[in-house]
Structure 1
Amino acid sequence: MNKKYYIVSSSSDPKLIGSDFPQAYSFIKEYNPNAPHALFDLYEYLYTKFPDYIPDLSGIRMSGRAKLTDIVSNGFGGQLEIVSPRTKEILETYNLCPHRFYEMNLYLRKVKYDYYMFHIQCDYSDLVDYKKSTFAKYNYSTKGASVSINSKEEFLTRRKIMGEKSILNSVTADTLFMTSEFWDMNLDYFYIGIVDGEDYISERLMKHLLDSKITGWDFIPATNLIVE
C-alpha cells in the first residue's frame, strides 16, 4: 500500500491572506535583521545545522494590506515558516523531521502577535530509489527530455553540468520512489532535499489541520511521491 502525502504550499487567496503575497517580508524600524543572532544570522543554519543560540526574531512585520492567518507566508527563504501558537501545538503532536520552533513577534498594523518560526532541516535524498524514480531536464519551469539516473551521485553530477551551461537549467525528479527505510520513519512533515525541493505532509496531519480550521496553507495531492 502506498502512503498518501500532500505537498504544502502557502495560500495566495486574497480573500484569505489579503492583497499582498507574501504576507510578511519586512521589519519594524526598531529591529535590525543584520544584528548578531537576528534573522539574517540564522541563514547560516538553514540547511546544515541548527543554531546553538535562541534567534532574536522580535521585529518581523506583515504588509499593511495582508490579513493574519495561522501560517503566514514570508519572503525570507529557506525552510522557514511563520506559524501561530495553535498551529505549533498541533504540529508538535505528530512525527516531524528534525526541526525547531523559535519564538517571534509578528506585527500587523502596529499590533504585536506572538508567533513562532518553524525551522525544518532534513535531507532524505539518500533514501530515494533512483533507479525506480523518474527525472527530467528543466529550463526554468519548462520541462524537457526525460533523464535516466541510477544514483544520488549521478543526479548531483548531471545537475552540476546542466547548471554550468545556464543557471536556468536543472534536473528535477518527476516521480520519487522512496525506500523501505523511509517508510519505517513514518514521518508526518518533511523535506526530501535537492531532488525536488517540496515540503510534504501526511494525510492524517493535513486532516487535523483542516478540521482545526488552521489557515494559510494549501495542500496538493503528492501524486509524484511513492512510499510503499
Structure 2
Amino acid sequence: MKYFVMEESLDKKIVGRDFPQAYRFIKGYNEDASNALFSLYKYKDTFPDYVPNLDGVMLAGYAKLTDFVSNGFSGSLCILSPKAKAILEQYNLCPHQFYSFGLYKKEVKYDYFLLKLVSNYSDFVDYEKTSFREYDITSGYKSDSFSVKSKEEFWERRKKIKAEKGISWGIWGNKLVMNKDFNCELDFFAISILDANTYVSERLKNAIESAGLTGWEFSPATNLIVENCH
C-alpha cells in the first residue's frame, strides 16, 4: 500500500487569507471550564470519560469554510465537516473519537465535528533499519543521518541531546521503516514522538479527492517504508 503525508492547505483560494483558519472562541465560551476544549489536552494517550463542550469556535475573519479546517489548538485535533466525517468513518483510522463541534462564521453556526486522535505507532518502528537526524526547532538545523539499535537507545540519545543543547533540540526519524507487526490495513495514523507527520493511505486519499473535500493536501510519503504491505 502507498502512503501519503497529510498537510493542511495553504492555498488562499481554498482556505482564505487567515491561517490557521480557526483559533479563537466565540464570545461567552468559557475556555476555562472543566469540559472545555482545553480540557482535552490532559488526554494525550486516552479519551475523556465525558462529552466536551465544543460550542463554539470562530472561523477567522479572512478564512474560508472548508471540509477540513486548520486550527491553532493542537495537531491531534482535527476540525471537519459532516461530509468529511462520513468519508473518514468508512476507513481504518488509528484510535480516535468524534465530538460535536460548533464552528461559527460571523453569526452563522455550522455543525462540524472535532476528531481527536490517540496515535502512537513508535513501537512498530524497526529502529535498526530506520535512520535519524538531530534537529533544532529554533534554527532549523538538521544533522547528518545516523542509526540506533533500539527504542531505548533512541530515548537515551533524545534525553542526552536535550540536556546538552536545550529543549529546542530533538531527534526526528529521517527514513522510517515499520516492522512486520505494523497494521497494513491502517488508512490514517501518526507515528508520534519520532515523527510529526500524519499519514494517509492511497485509498483514503483518493476517496477524499474524489468526494471534492477541501482543506487537506497530500504529498507522497517518501520517508516511510512499510515492508510487509503490498
Asked whether the two chains share a fold, i.e. TM above 0.5, the reply is yes
Instruction: For 1:56 and 1:62, locate their aligned partners in 2 and report how far apart those are by CA, in whole Å.
Output: 17
Match of 2:53 in 1: 56
Q: How far apart are the structure 2 equivalents of 1:58 and 1:112?
A: 9
Deviation at 1:127, TM superposition (A): 0.6
Structure 1: 4+ residue segments shifted above 4 A: none
2:135 maps to what in 1? 138
- Per the normalisation by structure 2, the TM-score is 0.95
- 1:194 is matched with 193
Distance in 2 of aligned mates of 1:170 and 1:122: 20
Listed as ranges, the matches of 1:206-217 within 5 Å are: 206-217=205-216
Match of 2:167 in 1: 167
Unaligned runs of 5+ in 2: none
Is there any run of 5+ residues in structure 1 with no aligned partner, and where?
none
Secondary structure of 1:142's aligned partner: coil
Q: Distance in 2 between matches of 1:150 and 1:78?
A: 29
Q: Percent identity?
A: 51
Q: Distance in 2 between matches of 1:30 and 1:63?
A: 17
Residues 129 and 147 of structure 2 are in contact (CA less than 8 Å); yes or no, is this contact kept in structure 1?
no
Of 115, 119, 124, 2:116 maps to 119
Q: Which residue of 1 aligns with 2:181?
A: 181
1:44-83 equivalences in 2 (<5 Å): 44-45=42-43, 47-83=44-80
Supply the AA of the counterpart residue of 2:190: Y
Q: Which residue of 1 aligns with 2:41?
A: 43
Determine the C-alpha separation between the residues in 1 that align with 2:168 and 2:53: 35
* 2:87 aligned residue: 90
User: Quick one: distance in 1 between partners of 2:98 and 2:116?
Assistant: 6
SS of the equivalent of 2:195 reads coil
Residue 211 of structure 1 aligns with an amino acid whose one-letter code is: S
Which of the numbers 7, 17, 26 marks the counterpart of 1:19?
17
- The 2-side partners of 1:98 and 1:48 are apart by 10
CA drift of 1:78 comes to 3.7
Amino acid at match of 1:80: L
Alignment of 1:29-40 (within 5 A): 29-40=27-38
Instruction: Report the CA distance between 1:74 and its aligned residue.
Output: 0.2
* SS state at 2:203 partner: helix
Distance 2:14 2:149 in 1: 43
CA RMSD of aligned residues (A): 1.0
Contact in 2 for aligned 1:191/1:200 (Cα 8 Å): yes
1:140-159 CA distance string (max 9 Å, x none): 22211222211111111111
TM-score under structure 1 length normalisation:
0.96
User: Is residue 30–residue 59 contact of structure 1 (8 Å, CA) maintained in 2?
Assistant: no
Q: Distance in 1 between matches of 2:212 and 2:162?
A: 42
Structure 2 SS opposite 1:197: strand
Amino acid at match of 1:89: A
Q: Which residue of 1 aligns with 2:5?
A: 7
| Displacement of 1:185 | 4.3
